A and B are shown apart, each in its own frame.
Chain A
Amino acid sequence: MSSAAPERCDAVVIGAGPAGLAAGIRLAQQGLSTVVLERHYLWGGLNSFYKKGGRRYDVGLHALTNHADRGARKLPLPRVLRQLRIPLEALQLGEQLGSRTVFPEASLRFSNDLDLLRSEVRAGFPAAADAFDALCDELAALPHAVEAGPQSVRAHLLERLGDRLLVDLVLHPLLWYGSPTPSDVSWPLFVVLWKSIYEEGFARPRGGVRPVLELLNGRLREEGGELRLRTGVSEILHDGGRVRGVRTDGGAELEAQLVLSSAGWPETLRMLGPEFTDHARSAPIGELTFVEACMHLDRPAPELGFQDTITFWNHADEALYRSTGAEPYDARSGVLCCPENYAGQEPETEGVVRTTILSSAAPWRDLEPEAYAATKAAAVDAAWEEVRRFAPDARPHAVALDAFTPRTITRFTGRLDGAVYGCPQKVAPDAAGLTGLQILGTDNGYLGIVGALVGGAQVATLSGASITPRALEPAPEA
Protein backbone atom coordinates (compact mmCIF):
# COMPACT_ATOMS: atom_id res chain seq x y z
CA MET A 1 0.00 0.00 0.00
CA SER A 2 1.78 3.14 1.15
CA SER A 3 5.52 3.31 0.71
CA ALA A 4 7.94 5.45 2.68
CA ALA A 5 8.16 8.23 0.11
CA PRO A 6 4.90 10.03 -0.68
CA GLU A 7 3.52 9.60 -4.15
CA ARG A 8 4.22 12.50 -6.51
CA CYS A 9 2.40 13.88 -9.50
CA ASP A 10 2.14 17.22 -11.26
CA ALA A 11 -1.51 17.99 -10.61
CA VAL A 12 -4.29 16.78 -8.35
CA VAL A 13 -7.94 17.53 -9.05
CA ILE A 14 -10.37 17.22 -6.15
CA GLY A 15 -13.75 15.94 -7.26
CA ALA A 16 -14.79 14.05 -10.39
CA GLY A 17 -17.85 16.03 -11.45
CA PRO A 18 -17.95 17.55 -14.94
CA ALA A 19 -15.66 20.42 -13.85
CA GLY A 20 -13.09 18.13 -12.26
CA LEU A 21 -13.09 15.69 -15.18
CA ALA A 22 -12.74 18.46 -17.77
CA ALA A 23 -9.90 19.95 -15.74
CA GLY A 24 -8.22 16.56 -15.47
CA ILE A 25 -8.40 16.08 -19.24
CA ARG A 26 -6.93 19.52 -19.95
CA LEU A 27 -4.11 19.04 -17.44
CA ALA A 28 -3.24 15.60 -18.82
CA GLN A 29 -3.33 17.02 -22.36
CA GLN A 30 -0.55 19.36 -21.32
CA GLY A 31 1.65 16.43 -20.46
CA LEU A 32 1.12 16.87 -16.73
CA SER A 33 0.81 13.72 -14.65
CA THR A 34 -2.69 14.16 -13.31
CA VAL A 35 -4.76 12.37 -10.70
CA VAL A 36 -8.46 13.11 -10.18
CA LEU A 37 -9.61 12.15 -6.69
CA GLU A 38 -13.27 11.40 -5.94
CA ARG A 39 -14.59 10.43 -2.52
CA HIS A 40 -17.69 8.71 -3.87
CA TYR A 41 -17.59 5.33 -5.59
CA LEU A 42 -19.13 6.91 -8.71
CA TRP A 43 -18.02 9.91 -10.67
CA GLY A 44 -20.26 12.77 -11.81
CA GLY A 45 -20.60 14.83 -8.63
CA LEU A 46 -23.81 16.84 -8.72
CA ASN A 47 -24.60 15.35 -12.13
CA SER A 48 -24.28 11.67 -11.55
CA PHE A 49 -26.25 8.47 -11.93
CA TYR A 50 -26.91 5.36 -9.92
CA LYS A 51 -28.77 2.08 -10.09
CA LYS A 52 -31.39 0.91 -7.70
CA GLY A 53 -33.67 -2.11 -8.01
CA GLY A 54 -32.26 -2.70 -11.49
CA ARG A 55 -33.35 0.77 -12.64
CA ARG A 56 -31.10 3.57 -13.68
CA TYR A 57 -31.48 7.00 -12.12
CA ASP A 58 -29.82 10.18 -13.29
CA VAL A 59 -29.45 12.89 -10.70
CA GLY A 60 -29.32 16.54 -11.58
CA LEU A 61 -30.69 18.11 -14.67
CA HIS A 62 -31.33 15.21 -17.06
CA ALA A 63 -30.28 17.59 -19.79
CA LEU A 64 -27.65 19.99 -20.99
CA THR A 65 -28.12 23.68 -21.53
CA ASN A 66 -26.27 25.61 -24.26
CA HIS A 67 -27.54 23.52 -27.14
CA ALA A 68 -25.61 24.37 -30.29
CA ASP A 69 -25.08 22.96 -33.73
CA ARG A 70 -21.71 21.88 -34.97
CA GLY A 71 -21.22 25.02 -37.02
CA ALA A 72 -21.64 27.35 -34.06
CA ARG A 73 -18.01 27.15 -33.08
CA LYS A 74 -17.92 30.19 -30.87
CA LEU A 75 -20.67 28.96 -28.56
CA PRO A 76 -19.65 27.39 -25.26
CA LEU A 77 -20.64 23.78 -25.92
CA PRO A 78 -18.89 23.20 -29.29
CA ARG A 79 -15.93 25.20 -28.07
CA VAL A 80 -15.35 23.24 -24.88
CA LEU A 81 -15.91 19.91 -26.62
CA ARG A 82 -13.26 20.90 -29.13
CA GLN A 83 -10.86 21.59 -26.29
CA LEU A 84 -11.65 18.22 -24.77
CA ARG A 85 -11.36 16.57 -28.22
CA ILE A 86 -14.86 15.15 -28.00
CA PRO A 87 -16.87 15.35 -31.23
CA LEU A 88 -20.22 17.07 -30.71
CA GLU A 89 -21.85 14.15 -32.53
CA ALA A 90 -20.67 11.80 -29.80
CA LEU A 91 -23.23 13.30 -27.42
CA GLN A 92 -26.13 12.51 -29.79
CA LEU A 93 -28.03 15.52 -28.52
CA GLY A 94 -31.79 15.70 -28.87
CA GLU A 95 -33.39 19.11 -28.49
CA GLN A 96 -36.23 19.78 -26.08
CA LEU A 97 -39.76 19.58 -27.46
CA GLY A 98 -40.86 22.62 -25.48
CA SER A 99 -41.01 23.85 -21.90
CA ARG A 100 -43.26 26.11 -19.84
CA THR A 101 -43.16 28.45 -16.91
CA VAL A 102 -46.49 28.20 -15.09
CA PHE A 103 -48.03 30.56 -12.55
CA PRO A 104 -51.67 30.54 -11.38
CA GLU A 105 -52.53 33.63 -13.44
CA ALA A 106 -50.51 32.96 -16.58
CA SER A 107 -47.98 30.74 -18.29
CA LEU A 108 -45.40 31.10 -21.04
CA ARG A 109 -44.10 28.44 -23.39
CA PHE A 110 -40.49 28.49 -24.53
CA SER A 111 -38.20 26.32 -26.63
CA ASN A 112 -34.70 26.51 -28.09
CA ASP A 113 -36.04 29.14 -30.47
CA LEU A 114 -36.31 32.43 -28.60
CA ASP A 115 -38.99 33.54 -31.06
CA LEU A 116 -41.49 31.26 -29.33
CA LEU A 117 -40.99 33.07 -26.01
CA ARG A 118 -41.13 36.43 -27.78
CA SER A 119 -44.45 35.56 -29.41
CA GLU A 120 -45.84 34.20 -26.14
CA VAL A 121 -44.94 37.48 -24.45
CA ARG A 122 -46.50 39.44 -27.33
CA ALA A 123 -49.73 37.44 -27.01
CA GLY A 124 -49.94 37.46 -23.20
CA PHE A 125 -48.33 40.80 -22.32
CA PRO A 126 -48.81 43.05 -25.35
CA ALA A 127 -48.01 46.22 -23.40
CA ALA A 128 -44.57 44.88 -22.47
CA ALA A 129 -43.77 43.16 -25.76
CA ASP A 130 -41.64 45.91 -27.29
CA ALA A 131 -39.60 46.29 -24.11
CA PHE A 132 -39.16 42.52 -23.98
CA ASP A 133 -37.97 42.42 -27.59
CA ALA A 134 -35.49 45.18 -26.83
CA LEU A 135 -34.21 43.21 -23.85
CA CYS A 136 -33.80 40.09 -26.00
CA ASP A 137 -31.86 42.05 -28.62
CA GLU A 138 -29.64 43.65 -26.03
CA LEU A 139 -28.84 40.34 -24.37
CA ALA A 140 -28.18 38.70 -27.74
CA ALA A 141 -25.43 41.23 -28.37
CA LEU A 142 -23.65 40.44 -25.08
CA PRO A 143 -20.98 37.79 -24.67
CA HIS A 144 -21.52 34.97 -22.15
CA ALA A 145 -19.06 36.49 -19.72
CA VAL A 146 -19.97 39.99 -18.59
CA GLU A 147 -18.85 42.21 -15.75
CA ALA A 148 -21.09 43.11 -12.85
CA GLY A 149 -24.28 44.98 -13.82
CA PRO A 150 -27.48 46.01 -12.06
CA GLN A 151 -27.48 45.15 -8.35
CA SER A 152 -30.85 43.41 -8.52
CA VAL A 153 -31.79 41.76 -11.79
CA ARG A 154 -35.38 41.47 -10.60
CA ALA A 155 -35.63 45.22 -9.98
CA HIS A 156 -33.88 45.96 -13.28
CA LEU A 157 -36.27 43.79 -15.28
CA LEU A 158 -39.28 45.22 -13.48
CA GLU A 159 -38.16 48.70 -14.38
CA ARG A 160 -37.71 47.76 -18.02
CA LEU A 161 -40.71 45.52 -18.57
CA GLY A 162 -43.10 47.20 -16.13
CA ASP A 163 -45.01 44.01 -15.38
CA ARG A 164 -44.29 42.02 -12.23
CA LEU A 165 -45.99 38.84 -13.43
CA LEU A 166 -44.02 38.83 -16.66
CA VAL A 167 -40.75 39.36 -14.79
CA ASP A 168 -41.63 36.52 -12.40
CA LEU A 169 -42.55 34.18 -15.25
CA VAL A 170 -39.38 34.90 -17.20
CA LEU A 171 -37.06 34.76 -14.20
CA HIS A 172 -38.54 31.61 -12.66
CA PRO A 173 -36.85 29.02 -14.93
CA LEU A 174 -33.57 30.91 -14.80
CA LEU A 175 -33.51 31.06 -11.00
CA TRP A 176 -34.47 27.40 -10.75
CA TYR A 177 -31.81 26.39 -13.21
CA GLY A 178 -28.95 27.83 -11.32
CA SER A 179 -29.20 30.78 -8.99
CA PRO A 180 -27.54 30.37 -5.60
CA THR A 181 -29.24 33.60 -4.48
CA PRO A 182 -32.79 33.58 -3.06
CA SER A 183 -35.43 35.27 -5.27
CA ASP A 184 -32.84 36.98 -7.43
CA VAL A 185 -29.70 36.39 -9.44
CA SER A 186 -26.53 38.33 -10.08
CA TRP A 187 -26.26 40.11 -13.42
CA PRO A 188 -23.36 38.02 -14.79
CA LEU A 189 -25.13 34.79 -13.87
CA PHE A 190 -28.41 36.10 -15.31
CA VAL A 191 -26.70 36.73 -18.66
CA VAL A 192 -25.21 33.23 -18.65
CA LEU A 193 -28.56 31.68 -17.70
CA TRP A 194 -30.48 33.67 -20.29
CA LYS A 195 -28.12 32.67 -23.07
CA SER A 196 -27.72 29.08 -21.96
CA ILE A 197 -31.46 28.48 -21.59
CA TYR A 198 -33.44 30.95 -23.70
CA GLU A 199 -31.01 31.60 -26.56
CA GLU A 200 -29.29 28.22 -26.87
CA GLY A 201 -31.60 25.94 -24.92
CA PHE A 202 -32.03 22.46 -23.53
CA ALA A 203 -30.84 19.26 -25.12
CA ARG A 204 -30.46 15.76 -23.84
CA PRO A 205 -27.63 13.42 -24.69
CA ARG A 206 -29.01 10.11 -25.87
CA GLY A 207 -28.99 7.89 -22.80
CA GLY A 208 -28.82 10.78 -20.34
CA VAL A 209 -25.89 12.01 -18.30
CA ARG A 210 -24.15 8.66 -18.05
CA PRO A 211 -22.75 8.49 -21.61
CA VAL A 212 -21.37 12.02 -21.17
CA LEU A 213 -19.58 11.00 -18.01
CA GLU A 214 -18.29 7.86 -19.74
CA LEU A 215 -16.91 10.00 -22.57
CA LEU A 216 -15.17 12.32 -20.13
CA ASN A 217 -13.69 9.48 -18.16
CA GLY A 218 -12.57 7.80 -21.38
CA ARG A 219 -10.87 10.97 -22.59
CA LEU A 220 -9.13 11.40 -19.24
CA ARG A 221 -7.75 7.87 -19.53
CA GLU A 222 -6.68 8.37 -23.15
CA GLU A 223 -4.72 11.47 -22.18
CA GLY A 224 -2.95 9.51 -19.46
CA GLY A 225 -4.83 10.97 -16.51
CA GLU A 226 -6.03 8.83 -13.66
CA LEU A 227 -9.39 8.79 -11.87
CA ARG A 228 -9.28 7.42 -8.33
CA LEU A 229 -12.67 6.68 -6.83
CA ARG A 230 -13.36 6.16 -3.11
CA THR A 231 -10.48 8.54 -2.42
CA GLY A 232 -11.56 11.66 -0.58
CA VAL A 233 -9.27 14.52 0.34
CA SER A 234 -9.16 15.43 4.02
CA GLU A 235 -6.56 18.15 3.77
CA ILE A 236 -4.84 20.36 1.23
CA LEU A 237 -1.18 20.60 2.22
CA HIS A 238 0.64 23.90 1.90
CA ASP A 239 3.81 25.61 3.09
CA GLY A 240 4.75 29.25 2.94
CA GLY A 241 1.89 30.29 0.69
CA ARG A 242 2.42 27.48 -1.80
CA VAL A 243 0.47 24.27 -2.23
CA ARG A 244 2.44 21.05 -1.96
CA GLY A 245 -0.22 18.37 -2.27
CA VAL A 246 -3.12 16.70 -0.51
CA ARG A 247 -3.74 14.19 2.25
CA THR A 248 -6.42 11.63 1.49
CA ASP A 249 -9.06 10.31 3.89
CA GLY A 250 -6.88 7.22 4.24
CA GLY A 251 -3.98 9.37 5.48
CA ALA A 252 -1.78 9.00 2.40
CA GLU A 253 0.01 12.06 1.06
CA LEU A 254 0.02 12.90 -2.60
CA GLU A 255 2.51 15.59 -3.59
CA ALA A 256 1.62 17.95 -6.43
CA GLN A 257 2.59 21.39 -7.68
CA LEU A 258 -0.96 22.14 -8.62
CA VAL A 259 -4.19 21.36 -6.76
CA LEU A 260 -7.48 22.15 -8.46
CA SER A 261 -10.49 21.86 -6.18
CA SER A 262 -14.04 21.44 -7.41
CA ALA A 263 -15.26 20.66 -3.90
CA GLY A 264 -16.82 24.11 -3.48
CA TRP A 265 -15.43 27.30 -1.99
CA PRO A 266 -16.42 26.96 1.69
CA GLU A 267 -15.70 23.23 1.45
CA THR A 268 -12.21 23.84 0.04
CA LEU A 269 -11.40 26.41 2.72
CA ARG A 270 -12.19 23.78 5.31
CA MET A 271 -9.48 21.55 3.84
CA LEU A 272 -6.81 24.20 4.30
CA GLY A 273 -6.23 23.73 8.01
CA PRO A 274 -6.22 25.93 11.12
CA GLU A 275 -4.94 29.18 9.60
CA PHE A 276 -7.95 29.25 7.29
CA THR A 277 -10.54 28.44 9.96
CA ASP A 278 -11.81 32.01 10.30
CA HIS A 279 -11.93 32.44 6.57
CA ALA A 280 -13.84 29.16 6.23
CA ARG A 281 -16.36 30.21 8.89
CA SER A 282 -17.08 33.49 7.16
CA ALA A 283 -17.56 31.99 3.67
CA PRO A 284 -21.29 31.88 3.10
CA ILE A 285 -22.86 28.51 2.36
CA GLY A 286 -25.59 28.54 -0.26
CA GLU A 287 -29.11 28.16 1.12
CA LEU A 288 -30.80 26.84 -2.02
CA THR A 289 -31.34 23.13 -1.82
CA PHE A 290 -33.99 20.75 -3.04
CA VAL A 291 -35.94 17.55 -2.59
CA GLU A 292 -35.95 15.67 -5.85
CA ALA A 293 -37.93 12.56 -6.74
CA CYS A 294 -37.58 10.35 -9.78
CA MET A 295 -40.61 8.24 -10.59
CA HIS A 296 -40.57 5.34 -13.02
CA LEU A 297 -43.93 4.75 -14.69
CA ASP A 298 -45.63 1.68 -16.13
CA ARG A 299 -45.74 3.35 -19.57
CA PRO A 300 -43.99 6.19 -21.39
CA ALA A 301 -44.84 9.54 -19.78
CA PRO A 302 -46.05 11.13 -23.05
CA GLU A 303 -48.73 8.41 -23.27
CA LEU A 304 -50.10 9.67 -19.96
CA GLY A 305 -50.29 13.17 -21.38
CA PHE A 306 -47.02 14.73 -20.20
CA GLN A 307 -46.20 17.11 -23.04
CA ASP A 308 -43.68 19.61 -21.71
CA THR A 309 -39.99 18.84 -21.56
CA ILE A 310 -39.59 20.89 -18.40
CA THR A 311 -42.29 22.73 -16.47
CA PHE A 312 -41.27 25.36 -13.93
CA TRP A 313 -44.22 26.01 -11.64
CA ASN A 314 -45.05 28.54 -8.98
CA HIS A 315 -48.33 28.37 -7.08
CA ALA A 316 -47.43 30.76 -4.26
CA ASP A 317 -48.79 34.31 -4.15
CA GLU A 318 -45.40 35.70 -5.01
CA ALA A 319 -42.69 33.97 -7.02
CA LEU A 320 -40.99 31.63 -4.61
CA TYR A 321 -37.33 30.71 -4.83
CA ARG A 322 -35.53 30.44 -1.52
CA SER A 323 -34.63 28.12 1.33
CA THR A 324 -37.64 26.80 3.20
CA GLY A 325 -35.97 27.65 6.53
CA ALA A 326 -37.42 25.63 9.40
CA GLU A 327 -39.74 23.70 7.07
CA PRO A 328 -38.30 20.62 5.32
CA TYR A 329 -39.90 21.48 1.98
CA ASP A 330 -42.27 23.79 0.12
CA ALA A 331 -43.90 22.33 -2.97
CA ARG A 332 -45.56 25.56 -4.13
CA SER A 333 -42.54 26.20 -6.32
CA GLY A 334 -40.82 23.49 -8.30
CA VAL A 335 -39.75 21.83 -11.52
CA LEU A 336 -41.22 18.90 -13.41
CA CYS A 337 -38.90 17.15 -15.89
CA CYS A 338 -39.85 14.62 -18.56
CA PRO A 339 -36.61 13.27 -20.00
CA GLU A 340 -38.57 11.44 -22.70
CA ASN A 341 -39.67 14.75 -24.19
CA TYR A 342 -36.51 15.41 -26.16
CA ALA A 343 -36.13 14.67 -29.85
CA GLY A 344 -34.53 11.40 -30.84
CA GLN A 345 -34.69 9.61 -27.50
CA GLU A 346 -34.56 5.85 -27.40
CA PRO A 347 -38.05 4.45 -26.89
CA GLU A 348 -38.41 3.25 -23.31
CA THR A 349 -40.95 0.78 -22.01
CA GLU A 350 -41.03 2.60 -18.69
CA GLY A 351 -41.61 6.31 -18.44
CA VAL A 352 -39.74 8.64 -16.11
CA VAL A 353 -40.83 11.90 -14.53
CA ARG A 354 -38.91 13.91 -12.01
CA THR A 355 -40.08 16.51 -9.52
CA THR A 356 -37.89 18.99 -7.70
CA ILE A 357 -39.17 21.26 -4.94
CA LEU A 358 -37.66 23.81 -2.57
CA SER A 359 -36.10 22.60 0.63
CA SER A 360 -33.74 23.50 3.46
CA ALA A 361 -30.90 21.51 4.97
CA ALA A 362 -31.47 22.03 8.70
CA PRO A 363 -34.86 20.30 9.19
CA TRP A 364 -33.55 17.08 7.64
CA ARG A 365 -30.27 16.98 9.52
CA ASP A 366 -31.22 15.13 12.68
CA LEU A 367 -34.33 13.23 11.64
CA GLU A 368 -34.41 9.62 12.81
CA PRO A 369 -34.68 7.07 9.97
CA GLU A 370 -38.45 6.59 10.31
CA ALA A 371 -39.29 10.27 10.46
CA TYR A 372 -36.83 10.93 7.64
CA ALA A 373 -38.51 8.39 5.37
CA ALA A 374 -41.98 9.67 6.26
CA THR A 375 -41.01 13.31 5.63
CA LYS A 376 -39.44 12.40 2.32
CA ALA A 377 -42.58 10.53 1.23
CA ALA A 378 -44.71 13.50 2.30
CA ALA A 379 -42.50 15.86 0.27
CA VAL A 380 -42.94 13.74 -2.86
CA ASP A 381 -46.71 13.65 -2.38
CA ALA A 382 -46.83 17.38 -1.82
CA ALA A 383 -44.95 17.89 -5.10
CA TRP A 384 -47.48 15.78 -6.99
CA GLU A 385 -50.42 17.60 -5.43
CA GLU A 386 -49.02 20.74 -7.07
CA VAL A 387 -48.07 19.07 -10.37
CA ARG A 388 -51.60 17.72 -10.87
CA ARG A 389 -52.82 21.30 -11.19
CA PHE A 390 -51.13 21.60 -14.61
CA ALA A 391 -50.23 18.05 -15.67
CA PRO A 392 -51.48 14.49 -15.21
CA ASP A 393 -51.05 12.79 -11.84
CA ALA A 394 -48.49 10.07 -12.49
CA ARG A 395 -48.71 8.48 -9.06
CA PRO A 396 -51.21 5.73 -10.01
CA HIS A 397 -48.72 4.61 -12.69
CA ALA A 398 -45.63 4.56 -10.50
CA VAL A 399 -43.62 1.36 -10.56
CA ALA A 400 -40.58 2.71 -8.72
CA LEU A 401 -39.67 5.88 -6.89
CA ASP A 402 -36.49 7.23 -5.46
CA ALA A 403 -36.08 10.60 -3.82
CA PHE A 404 -33.21 12.53 -2.37
CA THR A 405 -33.00 15.32 0.16
CA PRO A 406 -30.38 17.93 1.12
CA ARG A 407 -28.91 15.29 3.41
CA THR A 408 -28.41 12.92 0.47
CA ILE A 409 -26.75 15.69 -1.54
CA THR A 410 -24.25 16.40 1.23
CA ARG A 411 -23.56 12.73 1.74
CA PHE A 412 -22.72 12.01 -1.89
CA THR A 413 -21.22 15.30 -3.04
CA GLY A 414 -19.74 16.78 0.12
CA ARG A 415 -21.64 20.04 -0.49
CA LEU A 416 -22.32 21.62 2.90
CA ASP A 417 -26.07 21.96 3.56
CA GLY A 418 -26.77 20.27 0.22
CA ALA A 419 -26.14 23.60 -1.52
CA VAL A 420 -26.71 22.47 -5.09
CA TYR A 421 -25.76 25.77 -6.71
CA GLY A 422 -22.94 26.51 -4.33
CA CYS A 423 -22.28 29.64 -2.37
CA PRO A 424 -24.01 32.89 -3.35
CA GLN A 425 -20.74 34.74 -3.49
CA LYS A 426 -18.84 33.48 -6.50
CA VAL A 427 -15.06 33.48 -6.32
CA ALA A 428 -12.14 33.75 -8.70
CA PRO A 429 -10.11 30.57 -9.25
CA ASP A 430 -7.19 31.94 -7.21
CA ALA A 431 -9.36 33.23 -4.35
CA ALA A 432 -7.57 31.22 -1.65
CA GLY A 433 -4.38 33.17 -2.32
CA LEU A 434 -2.15 30.10 -2.28
CA THR A 435 0.19 29.54 -5.22
CA GLY A 436 -0.83 26.38 -7.01
CA LEU A 437 -4.38 26.18 -5.59
CA GLN A 438 -7.26 26.86 -7.97
CA ILE A 439 -11.00 26.71 -7.36
CA LEU A 440 -13.23 25.41 -10.12
CA GLY A 441 -16.81 24.35 -10.69
CA THR A 442 -20.04 25.88 -9.43
CA ASP A 443 -18.41 28.38 -7.13
CA ASN A 444 -16.62 30.07 -10.04
CA GLY A 445 -20.04 31.16 -11.25
CA TYR A 446 -20.50 28.75 -14.12
CA LEU A 447 -23.78 27.05 -14.78
CA GLY A 448 -24.83 23.45 -15.21
CA ILE A 449 -22.92 20.66 -16.88
CA VAL A 450 -21.72 22.78 -19.79
CA GLY A 451 -20.65 25.61 -17.49
CA ALA A 452 -18.77 23.16 -15.33
CA LEU A 453 -16.94 21.80 -18.38
CA VAL A 454 -16.11 25.28 -19.65
CA GLY A 455 -14.91 26.51 -16.27
CA GLY A 456 -12.95 23.37 -15.44
CA ALA A 457 -11.23 23.34 -18.84
CA GLN A 458 -10.37 27.02 -18.68
CA VAL A 459 -8.92 27.03 -15.17
CA ALA A 460 -6.92 23.90 -15.94
CA THR A 461 -5.56 25.28 -19.21
CA LEU A 462 -4.35 28.51 -17.67
CA SER A 463 -3.00 27.08 -14.44
CA GLY A 464 -1.49 24.04 -16.15
CA ALA A 465 0.43 26.28 -18.55
CA SER A 466 2.04 27.99 -15.57
CA ILE A 467 3.93 24.95 -14.31
CA THR A 468 6.55 22.69 -15.83
CA PRO A 469 5.79 18.98 -15.83
CA ARG A 470 8.23 16.97 -13.74
CA ALA A 471 8.83 14.86 -16.82
CA LEU A 472 10.42 17.91 -18.52
CA GLU A 473 12.69 18.78 -15.64
CA PRO A 474 16.38 17.92 -16.03
CA ALA A 475 16.07 14.46 -14.45
CA PRO A 476 16.22 11.89 -17.27
CA GLU A 477 13.01 10.15 -18.22
CA ALA A 478 12.76 6.40 -18.54
Chain B
Amino acid sequence: MSNEDIVLAIKDIIATIAPDEELDGLTLEVPLRDQIELDSMDFLDIVMELRKRYGVNVPEEDYKNLATLQGCVDYLGPHMADKELVVS
Protein backbone atom coordinates (compact mmCIF):
# COMPACT_ATOMS: atom_id res chain seq x y z
CA MET B 1 0.00 0.00 0.00
CA SER B 2 1.39 3.37 -0.96
CA ASN B 3 1.40 6.43 1.30
CA GLU B 4 -1.53 7.82 -0.68
CA ASP B 5 -3.40 4.58 -0.07
CA ILE B 6 -2.76 4.83 3.67
CA VAL B 7 -4.35 8.29 3.67
CA LEU B 8 -7.30 6.85 1.74
CA ALA B 9 -7.52 3.96 4.19
CA ILE B 10 -7.62 6.30 7.20
CA LYS B 11 -10.13 8.61 5.54
CA ASP B 12 -12.35 5.67 4.73
CA ILE B 13 -12.23 4.51 8.32
CA ILE B 14 -13.13 8.00 9.54
CA ALA B 15 -15.98 8.11 7.02
CA THR B 16 -17.36 4.94 8.61
CA ILE B 17 -17.01 6.26 12.14
CA ALA B 18 -18.17 9.81 11.47
CA PRO B 19 -20.36 9.71 8.36
CA ASP B 20 -21.35 13.38 8.76
CA GLU B 21 -17.84 14.81 8.54
CA GLU B 22 -16.48 16.47 5.42
CA LEU B 23 -13.14 14.77 4.75
CA ASP B 24 -12.01 16.16 1.38
CA GLY B 25 -10.24 19.16 2.82
CA LEU B 26 -8.21 17.32 5.48
CA THR B 27 -4.57 18.36 5.55
CA LEU B 28 -1.71 16.04 6.42
CA GLU B 29 0.14 17.96 9.10
CA VAL B 30 -2.67 19.34 11.27
CA PRO B 31 -3.97 17.09 14.08
CA LEU B 32 -7.15 15.33 12.97
CA ARG B 33 -8.95 16.39 16.13
CA ASP B 34 -8.39 20.06 15.19
CA GLN B 35 -9.95 19.52 11.76
CA ILE B 36 -12.95 17.33 12.51
CA GLU B 37 -14.89 16.33 15.61
CA LEU B 38 -13.22 13.20 16.93
CA ASP B 39 -13.25 12.29 20.60
CA SER B 40 -11.15 9.68 22.36
CA MET B 41 -13.79 7.02 21.77
CA ASP B 42 -13.74 7.77 18.04
CA PHE B 43 -9.99 7.48 18.17
CA LEU B 44 -10.27 4.00 19.63
CA ASP B 45 -12.59 3.23 16.72
CA ILE B 46 -9.85 4.10 14.26
CA VAL B 47 -7.47 1.75 16.04
CA MET B 48 -10.19 -0.88 16.12
CA GLU B 49 -10.85 -0.64 12.39
CA LEU B 50 -7.14 -0.77 11.58
CA ARG B 51 -6.91 -3.99 13.48
CA LYS B 52 -9.97 -5.44 11.89
CA ARG B 53 -9.37 -4.38 8.30
CA TYR B 54 -5.59 -4.72 8.12
CA GLY B 55 -4.62 -6.88 11.08
CA VAL B 56 -2.47 -4.03 12.37
CA ASN B 57 -2.32 -3.87 16.14
CA VAL B 58 -1.48 -0.40 17.45
CA PRO B 59 -0.40 -0.59 21.09
CA GLU B 60 -1.76 2.12 23.37
CA GLU B 61 1.63 3.81 23.81
CA ASP B 62 1.74 4.40 20.04
CA TYR B 63 -1.68 6.08 19.70
CA LYS B 64 0.02 9.47 19.76
CA ASN B 65 1.63 8.64 16.41
CA LEU B 66 -1.79 8.65 14.78
CA ALA B 67 -2.68 12.23 15.67
CA THR B 68 -2.15 13.58 12.14
CA LEU B 69 -2.59 11.96 8.75
CA GLN B 70 1.15 12.37 8.14
CA GLY B 71 1.78 10.64 11.48
CA CYS B 72 -0.46 7.79 10.33
CA VAL B 73 1.52 7.46 7.08
CA ASP B 74 4.89 7.48 8.90
CA TYR B 75 3.82 5.10 11.63
CA LEU B 76 1.62 2.72 9.64
CA GLY B 77 3.74 2.67 6.48
CA PRO B 78 6.01 -0.22 7.51
CA HIS B 79 3.06 -2.20 8.93
CA MET B 80 0.83 -1.70 5.91
CA ALA B 81 3.32 -1.92 3.03
CA ASP B 82 2.18 -5.43 2.15
CA LYS B 83 -1.54 -4.85 2.76
CA GLU B 84 -4.25 -4.21 0.17
CA LEU B 85 -6.42 -1.12 0.50
CA VAL B 86 -9.89 -2.01 1.87
CA VAL B 87 -12.60 0.52 1.20
CA SER B 88 -16.00 0.04 2.79
Chain B residues with CB under 8 A of A73: 20, 37
Mark each residue of chain A from 21 to 33: 1 if its CB lies under 8 Å from any CB of chain B, else 0: 0000000011100
Interface-side segment among A96-104, A268-276, A339-347, A460-468: A460-468
**Chain B nearest CB, measured from A70 CB (Å):** 8
- For chain B residues 2-60, which have a beta carbon within 8 Å of chain A? 16-20, 37, 41, 44-45, 47-49, 51-52, 55, 57, 60
Q: Which residue of B lies closest to A78 (CB)?
A: B20
Mark each residue of chain A from 17 to 45: 1 if its CB lies under 8 Å from any CB of chain B, else 0: 00000000000011100000000000000
Q: A82 near B: Cβ within 8 Å?
A: yes
Chain B residues with CB under 8 A of A468: 57
Q: A375 near B: Cβ within 8 Å?
A: no
CB of A461 within 8 A of CB of B52, answer no
Chain B residues with CB under 8 A of A79: 41
CB of B16 within 8 A of CB of A465, answer no
Contact of B48 among A82, A458, A465, A472 (CB under 8 A): A465
CB of A83 within 8 A of CB of B20, answer no
**Chain A nearest CB, measured from B44 CB (Å):** 5
**Chain B nearest CB, measured from A431 CB (Å):** 22
**Chain A nearest CB, measured from B63 CB (Å):** 10
Chain A residues with CB under 8 A of B49: 29
Chain A residues with CB under 8 A of B18: 82
The docked-state distance in angstroms from the alpha carbon of A82 to that of B44 is: 13
**Chain A nearest CB, measured from B78 CB (Å):** 17
Chain B residues with CB under 8 A of A31: 48, 51-52, 55
The docked-state distance in angstroms from the alpha carbon of A30 to that of B50 is: 9
CB of B44 within 8 A of CB of A465, answer yes
Q: A389 near B: Cβ within 8 Å?
A: no
The docked-state distance in angstroms from the alpha carbon of A169 to that of B18 is: 40
**Chain A nearest CB, measured from B35 CB (Å):** 16
CB of B41 within 8 A of CB of A83, answer yes
CB of A461 within 8 A of CB of B57, answer no
The docked-state distance in angstroms from the alpha carbon of A126 to that of B37 is: 42
Known: A73-B20, A472-B57. A461 touches B51 (CB 8 A): no
The docked-state distance in angstroms from the alpha carbon of A30 to that of B37 is: 22
CB of B52 within 8 A of CB of A30, answer yes
CB of B44 within 8 A of CB of A472, answer no
**Chain B nearest CB, measured from A456 CB (Å):** 13
Q: A85 near B: Cβ within 8 Å?
A: yes
Known: A30-B51, A31-B51, A31-B52. A461 touches B44 (CB 8 A): yes
CB of A472 within 8 A of CB of B51, answer yes
CB of B41 within 8 A of CB of A472, answer no
Mark each residue of chain A from 87 to 99: 1 if its CB lies under 8 Å from any CB of chain B, else 0: 0000000000000
- For chain A residues 171-228, which have a beta carbon within 8 Å of chain B? none
Mark each residue of chain A from 434 to 478: 1 if its CB lies under 8 Å from any CB of chain B, else 0: 000000000000000000000000100110110011001000000
CB of A82 within 8 A of CB of B51, answer no
CB of B57 within 8 A of CB of A82, answer no
A-B contact pairs, 9 of them (CB 8 A): A29-B52, A30-B48, A31-B48, A31-B52, A73-B20, A82-B19, A85-B16, A465-B47, A469-B51
Please give the residue numbers on chain A whose beta carbons come within 8 Å of chain B beta carbons, in ascending order. Answer: 29-31, 73, 79, 82-83, 85, 458, 461-462, 464-465, 468-469, 472
Q: Pick the 8 closest A-B CB pairs, nearest first.
A: A31-B52, A30-B48, A461-B44, A31-B51, A472-B55, A465-B44, A29-B48, A472-B57
